[in-house]
Amino acid sequence: MRQRPLHVVAGRSLVVWEMQLVSPPDDPDHCPPGVAWIMSLDSGRFDRVSLYHAARPEPPPAPAAA
């Protein structure tokens, strides 16, 4: 599993990393497509970290039987 940065936002009390998650080739559905790391700062140090995983895309509908 790997992460690739998509967006990074930083302020005095909050840091947000939006990352793409890359699953291993032998298990392409292992990871959700992405994650957001939300980190709050207190006196310049990380105080709290939360992770929010992106929803997996909906599978395409099965073709209608004739």
Which pLDDT tens digit goes with each residue over 7-33? 999 999 999 999 999 999 999 889 999
Alpha helices (H) along the chain? none
The pLDDT value recorded for residue 63 is 86
Q: Is 41 exposed, middle or buried (0-12, 13-18, 19+ CB in 10 A)?
A: middle
Residue spans per domain, the chain = 2-53
The pLDDT value recorded for residue 13 is 96
Give the mean pLDDT of the chain: 93
